[in-house]
């Protein structure tokens, strides 16, 4: 269990953003172990609270409703401290989510190239924005979101790197940032 936050304590989370299939969950777990934080997968928190799958939420209530649940799950992280938070790829689309993410802690963009992403997500039946969609549309979404991801505090290339290597790079970057501050 994570601690609930005392009013004076900063959340001090590490928030991972990036497109579907970028590796947020795998890297997030390793990063959490490395930094002594709890790992939170926001999509998983949404599913637990809604007691149904994201696929089902998209199918029954639609994407806009999902986005409301997503923003609520993100805001709920303000009450907790010291987690690594893996977000869903679309969290970057709402300006309000950015305000919350900045209050949560360091926002880290896991950057991966389209070819690697597509090889990971193309056959996934659980991603409503991919399943049954023309990959060209998904590619357009990928391109459209790049400038949004680039608003993150840190950016780390994931291509051809093991999750442990990516997590270590993040720890090193954070420690450099700390010394610079």
* Residue 18: CB atoms within 10 Å: 26
Task: Specify the residue, 43 or 111, whose C-beta has the smaller distance to ligand S3P.
Answer: 43
Which residues contact residue 39 at a Cβ distance below 8 angstroms, ignoring those fewer than 6 apart?
28, 29, 31, 32, 33, 83, 84, 86
Examine residue 28 and tell whether it contacts ligand S3P (CB under 6 A).
no
Examine residue 152 and tell whether it contacts ligand S3P (CB under 6 A).
no
Examine residue 20 and tell whether it contacts ligand S3P (CB under 6 A).
yes
Task: Specify the residue, 50 or 129, whose C-beta has the smaller distance to ligand S3P.
Answer: 129
Among 127, 156, 158, 167, binds ligand S3P (CB under 6 A): 127
* Total chain residues near ligand S3P (CB under 6 A): 10
Which residues contact residue 130 at a Cβ distance below 8 angstroms, ignoring those fewer than 6 apart?
20, 121, 122, 124, 138
Distance CA 18, CA 109 (A): 6
- Looking only at the bridges linking them, the beta strands covering 38-41 and 83-86 are parallel
Among 110, 112, 128, 148, binds ligand S3P (CB under 6 A): 128
Examine residue 77 and tell whether it contacts ligand S3P (CB under 6 A).
no
Examine residue 43 and tell whether it contacts ligand S3P (CB under 6 A).
yes
Distance CA 159, CA 112 (A): 6
Binding residues for ligand S3P, rule: CB under 6 A, are 20, 24, 43, 54, 88-90, 127-129
């Amino acid at each position: 269990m994570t601690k609930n936050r005392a009013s004076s304590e900063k959340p001090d989370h590490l928030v991972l953003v990036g497109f579907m299939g970028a590796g947020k969950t795998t890297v997030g777990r390793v990063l959490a172990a490395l930094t002594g934080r709890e790992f939170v997968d926001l999509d998983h928190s949404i599913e637990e609270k809604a007691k149904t799958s994201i696929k089902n939420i998209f199918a029954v209530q639609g994407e806009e409703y999902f986005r409301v649940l997503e923003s609520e799950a993100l805001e709920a992280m303000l009450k907790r401290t010291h987690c690594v938070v893996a977000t869903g790829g679309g969290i970057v689309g709402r300006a309000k989510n950015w305000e919350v993410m900045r209050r949560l802690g360091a926002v880290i963009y896991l950057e991966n190239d389209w070819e690697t992403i597509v090889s990971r997500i193309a056959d996934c039946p659980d991603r409503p924005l991919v399943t049954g969609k023309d990959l060209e549309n998904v590619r357009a979404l990928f391109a459209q979101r790049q400038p949004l991801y680039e608003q993150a505090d840190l950016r780390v290339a994931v291509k051809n790197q093991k999750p442990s290597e990516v997590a270590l790079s993040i720890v090193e970057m954070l420690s450099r940032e700390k010394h610079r501050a």
